[in-house]
Amino acid sequence: MASLAEKRHTLAHLLAKAVLERHPNALLTLGPAVDDGFYYDIDFGAEKISDADLPELEKAMRKHLPGWKEFSREEVSPDEARTRFANNPYKLELVNEIAARGEPVTLYTAGSTAQSSKLQAPSSSFTDLCRGGHAKHPAADIAPDSFALDRIAGAYWRGDEAKPMLTRIYGLAFDTKEELDAYRAQREEAKKRDHRKLGAELDLFVISELVGAGLPLFTPKGTLLRDLISDFLWELNKAKGYEKVDIPHLAKPDLYKVSGHYDKYKDDGFQVHGRDKHFMLKPMNCPHHTQIYASRARSYRDLPIRYFDITKVYRDEQSGELMGLSRVLSITQDDGHVFCRPDQIGEEVARVVSIIKDFYSAVGLLKEGSYRARLSVRDPGTPEKYLGDPAVWDVAEKRLEEIGKEHGLALTRGEGEAAFYGPKLDFMFKDAIGREWQLATIQLDFVQPERFQLEYTDDTGSKARPVMIHRAISGSLERFLSVMIEHYAGAFPLWLSPEQVRVLPVSEKHAAYAAEVAAALMAADIRAEADDANESLGKKIRAGKQDKVPYLLVVGDKEAGAKTVTAESRDHGKLEGLPLAALIERLAKEISERA
């Protein structure tokens, strides 16, 4: 039976066949499988197509699918391939690259007979330049109701803005119709939870064209939300022995040349030129932290040393990839670095795992079956991407895998997902609608200490290299906030809500008592406001619910006379005739427990 990735790749070929049937002059480029289906990038020339054309293309795909009984593979010479694709500059570019690498040039044909591509092909057959990875028997392997064409977008050839703009046709594909329907339902729910929409409705952040895309501005409510998360992160890290440090937002390029970040980020970094100085906005914080460590002699008794820093890094992402808080140019990291002896690695990683579990438990993502850890290691096929001695990498990868197993983490392996200086444990969490996000990370690094010649004096009086552990709990604070907004659909738990309580006077004559209640709540360090708008109580309640305030307190004659409140909790229902002191005690407990 074909894998889902093979089915999706096959459907990209089937889409290309349907396109050429209706648009014979279209130039095909690349059509890979992706996480939720497939796409094909196509140059339609002067022709224009839109989403309105997708139903007919989808219909054509289903028409041809029964005739695609199997695929045949044919290896051809580069010259034969150039002849076959003489009128397609995109395929010629690919053929030349394949030939330059010394790899075989292969053509795959599917259709009613799937014979050699040199023969006259039947009407349902289709041949494409491809390295393989298809369903062997598409008609049998692919359910005709398990896929659908989704949308049309623009895409530059090879992702390069200097190259032609192509038309990208996206398709969705799953093993069954039920899975396809479930995915579509999840996506509709995701639209309702879109953090950009909710961020505007709840007045959390602003994207200004004058400031620039990818540079979000946080309102008072949004800044409070950031601070609540930042303060909690510091609380957890401080309890585990971390100390705060502070670093500038730029440095000489020399710092990043030593660390290796310059070569990796020189095209994605921001260069800053002063009167007679050249700096780079920091793409990472770890090189700065190495220099704090290196500023004085260290003994084995001093280790581990743990630095904590919530600060921004800057990367020049492509404009088309910027989106709300999910992908930004100024990235706030809750960054931490541990400098320790090799024998302390296990204990220090355990310390970070403990922080991760406490943090994600409080934000509602640490649930049975809703998270996993990925052991991110090197891609053995591209050793040139990684710094340091391969033997040292072997040790680091093995040690991190052992630690993960010691802590009962169900590890999956991610080849090619390592940082360029070391392997990682990446923590993946599912949100309320089942989407998975990579958030926290722990990275084991033997390379940076070597490149910066970091040292400590061991218990024999000899010089030794510390090990560096990089760790981030929330990852990017902006991206984490986008996940939280969508996970909760803007209805944050009480401890995390910018506005925790709204007091609603029934009429103007109850405004004084409403103000008194709000003042008492604020004195107890509970974020509260009194709604003194000249509106009906019904409108005030609707506004409070629309703003997703956790507690709405109604005060009228009865409440003012008895010095009580009637509370409507978003999560716990209605509470009538509650003494104010009892409410404050209840709320304070709920906030302190981060329930």
> Is 315 among the catalytic positions?
yes
Give the whole-angstrom CA distance, residue 27 versus residue 42.
Answer: 6
Q: Which amino acid would we find at residue 48?
A: K
Distance in angstroms (rounded) separating the CA atoms of residues 595 and 588: 11
What is the spatial distance between Cα 571 and Cα 551, in angstroms, rounded to a whole number?
9
Active-site residue flag, 9: no
Q: Is 340 a catalytic residue?
A: no
Residue showing tokens 């993502």: 365
Find the catalytic residue in 289, 298, 306, 424.
424
Residues 6 or more apart whose Cβ sits within 8 Å of residue 221: 202, 203, 204, 498, 499
- Residue 35 and residue 172 in contact, taking contact as beta carbons nearer than 8 Å: no
Instruction: Please pick, among 315, 399, 502, 527, the residue that the annotation labels catalytic.
Output: 315
Strand segments, DSSP code E, in 341-398 are 371-377
Q: What is the C-alpha separation between 490 and 202, in angstroms, rounded?
A: 8
Whole-Å CA distances, 170 to 319, 351, 371: 21, 44, 29
424 carries an active-site annotation: yes
- Is residue 286 part of the annotated active site? The answer reads yes
Residues 326, 272: Cα–Cα separation, whole Å: 25
Q: Which run of H or of E encompasses 98?
A: helix 89-100
Give kind and range of the element (H or E) at residue 354: helix 345-362
* CB-CB contact of 108 with 138 (8 Å): no
Q: Is the peptide bond before 32 cis (omega within 30 degrees of 0)?
A: no
416: left (phi over 0), alpha (psi -120 to 50) or beta: left
CB atoms within 10 A of CB 219: 15
CB 411 within 8 A of CB 371: no
- Please identify which of the residues 64, 333, 344, 502 carries the catalytic annotation: 333
Strands 371-377 and 411-415 turn out to be parallel
Annotated active-site residue in 168, 470, 527, 540:
470
Place of tokens 């509602």: 364
Per the residue annotation, which of 335, 426, 431, 547 is the catalytic one? 335
Asked if 416 contacts 382 with a C-beta cutoff of 8 angstroms, the reply is: yes
Q: What is the C-alpha to C-alpha distance for residues 519 and 529, in angstroms, rounded to an integer?
A: 8
**What's the CA gap between 350 and 574, in Å, rounded?**
43
Residue 244 annotated as catalytic: no
Residue 323, helix vs strand vs coil:
strand
The one catalytic residue in 286, 340, 374, 527 is: 286
Which phi and psi angles does 35 have, rounded to 5°?
Answer: -60, -35
Catalytic-labelled residue, pool 84, 195, 264, 337: 337
Q: How far is CA 235 from the centre of its chain?
A: 25
Asked if residues 316 and 270 have their Cβ atoms less than 8 Å apart, the reply is yes
Provide the residue type at 452 as one letter: F
Instruction: Please give the Cα distance from 57 to 16 (Å, whole number).
Output: 9
Catalytic residues: 286, 315, 333, 335, 337, 424, 470
